[in-house]
Structure 1
Amino acid sequence: MQVIFNHPPWFERWMRSRRRLATARYTVRRLRNRTIVSVLRPPDVAPLPVVQWRFRLSRQVGHGFLLLAVIVMLAVDYSFPWQQLITGRHQVHTPSVATVVATSAEQAVGVARAVRVTASVAREPEPIAPALRAPVPVVTAYRTTHLLAEGETLAEVAARYQIPLSTLVWTNGLDRGDALRVGQPLRIARLAGVTHTVEAGETLAALAERYGVAPEAIATFAPNRLRNGQLIVGQEIFIPGGRLAWSPEQEAAFAQRKAEPVGIVLANETNVRSGPSTDHQRLAQLTAGRQVALRGRYGDWVLVALGETIGWIRSDLLELDPEQVAALPEVRDFPPPPPRWVWPAQGVLTSGFGPRWGGFHNGIDIANVAWTPIVAASRGWVYEAGRCSGYGYCVKIRHPGGIETIYGHLVTRPVVQVGQEVSTGQLIGYMGSTYDRAGGGYSTGVHLHFTILVNGRAVNPLRYLP
């Protein structure tokens, strides 16, 4: 029984190539051995001339054919597409010996040309790793500016940019208590921290201790532009990781703050008063640019809020939106103005407040001619008018805030009555020299005795009079 093995074409071609290579190697070894023998032949042994010439000619021709055969077989062996054959990308046909020789020669010429072309148009090798790029320099501590929208809270802004709420407050000066307005720009810091404006005498060490960071964190932060760690007075710097006092109550209060109607202070030293008049007490003074929340209106005044301070500012001292002001509620719940003081009479101060003649003088004496007009030193209500114990004809007026005034030694009965409201500077009587003999009062000449009582206790009138 005969067993026939069918090998694939690529295997048969591979076997033929291996046989050609073995034959070529065997031929080369034989040529090398013959050359060595011819070299080692003794010089005195000379073959027959004709035989030797023929032998040499046949040997050179044979060597030439053998060398050509070796070159052809080697070219076929190394130019055969083994990889393409194995992967099945090309269909391989069995060529004849002549075809192999011609193809090998053409391939040899093509390879030489390809080498020359490739060498002339050689490209740069592909990099193993991507090229390194220089880092982008950071020139500012802030990455963007956010415009506050209507109804948007600070907590929502902080969450949107993933920064602490405290950093948003500190870097925009919101901890001063200023109101927020629609469209207000808010700086968004690149990292947590706080801003600081350098003042005279401050050092890096002091700032680092104050904000709880290392001095190097301030000095090496590029946007601060500190040369050799030198601080410049008036320069605003950013303290990376710096912190101020921040309580949970503050966190909750600032988280819900949002834009509302505001007024912007136009001038420095703008007064915030307890009521809508210049007679009311001053509660605070604001610098230009501060933003105050609008709460109400009364006449030419608006009720404002700045942090915990609530008071009144004249409308012409603020930059306002007329439509917003018109929409504010009218407020009438405010305290009356405190008394504004004027001198009760014209004349010469003849006796002051304090010890006198072994006793105590609880007021001042103003001397002038008889019938010199006497006026109310401040707004109030008359609670006694006529003959008074110790003063002769007199007037007693009660003022807001537990203050009372007494006007003594009038020339005749006063021109006002008990229960009457009087304004500052209103006429109440005339200067004279009456006194109460029974009450111990005494007058040595025409003058006005003027006393101020605060909660029943006499005080120096000069503390109130302009």
Structure 2
Amino acid sequence: MQVIFEQPPWYERWVRSQRRLAAARRTARRLREGRDHAGDAVPGSANRQVVRWQFRPSRRLGHLLLLAAVILILAIDRSLPLQTLTPISHSGPAPVVPSLLPAEQAVVVAPAVRHAAAAPSEPEPIAPAVRAPIPVATAYQATHLLTEGETLAEVAARYQIPLSTLVWTNQLDRGDALRVGQPLRIARLAGAAHTVAEGETLTVLAERYSVAPEAIITFAPNRLRDGQLIVGREIFIPGGRLPWTAEQEAAFGQRTAEPVGIVLADETNVRSGPTTDHPRQVQLAAGRQVALRGRYNDWVKIAIGDVTGWIRSDLLELDPAVVAALPEVRDFPPPPPRWVWPARGVLTSGFGPRWGGFHNGIDIANAAWTPIVAASRGWVYESGWCSGYGYCVKIRHPGGIETIYGHLIARPVVRAGQEVSTGQLIGYMGSTYDRAGGGYSTGVHLHFTLLVNGRAVNPLRYLP
């Protein structure tokens, strides 16, 4: 098969111009040499002065002309259509035609088919590019820092997540106050965060959060190999839900940042008033955030969840300027008395010499199972069967004071290491004693001893 290239019109014009230019150059050369077209000398050419004119363009002009030529060539090259190839039937293999066209415009010519052409085949579809899924390493898309005046409802709407998810993933349902700059984790999808506790299983968690166990296992950020839960690790429950009411939605949605204090130590007491004589309401763990409501002397009034009370200021991380701006509060109940009688009854034996010996306390008699209370606030350091006293309780109080409650009818209701407040029940009146320890009891009563720095003193000096 022969291949005939049809040359574009501009190519023939360019060839003719090159030929004319070559002929003109030859004529000029003969004139300079004094010969005619046949090569013979021209008469008088020896005395003829040949004027040579030279065009010497500047270097800058040469550069401009060269640049224009390059641009013209590139423009002509882009405007050329593909060359039309006319196949001519012949026997034999199809020749490989070298092409000066760009690689993407190269054309392969196939030999003509003598018999009837088959129906053109459909081009194979181009498969879409397959991309590997983007691995999700965490259940959270961002961390948001709470600004002043910003509500939780606004934060949830900004990231297009349910308000309940924002609350559950940041443990805001514990009742802690919100502070300016507090980081809030923003989940990628609706759900709840959960820290695995001892004895919990996937079935238990799935039932609690109303999801299928597979939803927890297959969520990649949980990294649950073979569905094994690890105690203490936090996991995310996709689609998980806890009880949530319209009242909670309204209350949490309007919550904003406010002045807060951060609890510094575990077992920090929240009391009903700003003294250590006021009874304890609850104990808080370190790191809890309490809202500041007022101040009085070295105490601050706080609120956390449903509890309102007082904490000593040195037990909180506080901004002094914030504390100074709090209103002074005086509407708190008076402290309970420092000392109360440990039991109701009749004083049957006083402090001092008795029966040729020394009685180091007082005896209060009443019926069996009469309640016995702590005479003052303190910490139990012994509880149970005591030498000499039978069932007893021993309490250590501030200022080096100790109290002993003997002859209880049964095991005390408090344990060693427990803090007790003034008037708190510790046991019941009886008549037990330990003969091996030198104790003795003639009837149902309470033996009450008060020690100051290890030395027994008359309890009547302290009881009201």
Smaller-chain TM-score bracket:
0.5 to 0.7
* Aligned residue in 2 for 1:353: 365
Residues 216, 340 of structure 1: alpha-carbon distance in 2 compared, 3 angstrom cutoff = same
Q: Which runs of 5+ in 1 are unaligned?
A: 1-70, 94-103, 364-376, 379-423, 425-448, 451-460
Of 317, 320, 323, 2:318 maps to 320
More helix by share: 1
**1:268 lines up with 2:299 in the alignment:** no
CA distance in 2, matches of 1:340, 1:281: 11
Aligned positions of 1:41-440 closer than 5 A: 75=3, 79=5, 112-114=97-99, 128-341=126-339, 346-347=351-352, 348=359, 349=361, 351-355=363-367
C-alpha distance after superposition, 1:328-375 (max 9, x if no partner)? 00001110001121679854356432249xxx9999xxxxxxxxxxxx
Residues 317, 361 of structure 1: alpha-carbon distance in 2 compared, 3 angstrom cutoff = closer
CA distance in 2, matches of 1:226, 1:355: 62
CA distance in 1, matches of 2:102, 2:173: 75
In the TM superposition, residue 80 of structure 1 has moved relative to its aligned partner by 5.2
Identity across the alignment (%):
71
CA distance in 1, matches of 2:243, 2:177: 21
CA distance in 2, matches of 1:207, 1:197: 11
| Aligned residue identity for 2:280 | R
2:351–2:362 Cα contact (<8 Å) kept = no
2:194–2:234 Cα contact (<8 Å) kept = yes
| Aligned residue identity for 2:137 | V
CA distance in 2, matches of 1:174, 1:264: 15
In the TM superposition, residue 132 of structure 1 has moved relative to its aligned partner by 1.8
In the TM superposition, residue 131 of structure 1 has moved relative to its aligned partner by 2.4
| Aligned residue identity for 2:205 | L
User: What TM-score, normalized by structure 2, do the two folds share?
Assistant: 0.52
CA distance in 2, matches of 1:465, 1:268: 33
1:297–1:303 Cα contact (<8 Å) kept = yes
CA distance in 1, matches of 2:333, 2:232: 42
CA distance in 1, matches of 2:148, 2:135: 35
| Aligned residue identity for 2:279 | Q
In the TM superposition, residue 137 of structure 1 has moved relative to its aligned partner by 0.5
1:165–1:251 Cα contact (<8 Å) kept = yes
1:342–1:465 Cα contact (<8 Å) kept = yes
Residues 140, 354 of structure 1: alpha-carbon distance in 2 compared, 3 angstrom cutoff = same
C-alpha distance after superposition, 1:202-245 (max 9, x if no partner)? 11011101110000000111000011000001010100011111
CA distance in 2, matches of 1:163, 1:342: 56
1:353–1:361 Cα contact (<8 Å) kept = no
1:352–1:361 Cα contact (<8 Å) kept = no
* Aligned residue in 2 for 1:38: none
Residues 253, 361 of structure 1: alpha-carbon distance in 2 compared, 3 angstrom cutoff = closer
CA distance in 2, matches of 1:333, 1:191: 46
Structure whose CA Rg is larger: 1
Q: Secondary structure at the match of 1:242?
A: coil
CA distance in 2, matches of 1:206, 1:186: 28
C-alpha distance after superposition, 1:250-305 (max 9, x if no partner)? 11000000000000000000000000000001111000000000000000000000
Q: Which runs of 5+ in 2 are unaligned?
A: 14-83, 89-94, 108-123, 343-349, 353-358, 377-421, 423-446, 449-458
2:293–2:300 Cα contact (<8 Å) kept = yes
CA distance in 1, matches of 2:102, 2:10: 26
User: What TM-score, normalized by structure 1, do the two folds share?
Assistant: 0.52
CA distance in 1, matches of 2:363, 2:298: 44
1:354–1:362 Cα contact (<8 Å) kept = no
CA distance in 2, matches of 1:355, 1:317: 44
CA distance in 2, matches of 1:143, 1:244: 22
CA distance in 1, matches of 2:275, 2:370: 36
Residues 267, 140 of structure 1: alpha-carbon distance in 2 compared, 3 angstrom cutoff = same
CA distance in 2, matches of 1:271, 1:151: 30
CA distance in 1, matches of 2:275, 2:136: 52
CA distance in 2, matches of 1:208, 1:260: 36
CA distance in 1, matches of 2:128, 2:194: 41
CA distance in 2, matches of 1:361, 1:147: 58
* Aligned residue in 2 for 1:64: none
| Aligned residue identity for 1:178 | D
Cα RMSD (Å) of the superposition? 4.4
C-alpha distance after superposition, 1:69-98 (max 9, x if no partner)? xx8xx755xx459xx9xxxx99999xxxxx
* Aligned residue in 1 for 2:431: none
| Aligned residue identity for 1:144 | A
* Aligned residue in 2 for 1:31: none
Q: Secondary structure at the match of 1:285?
A: strand
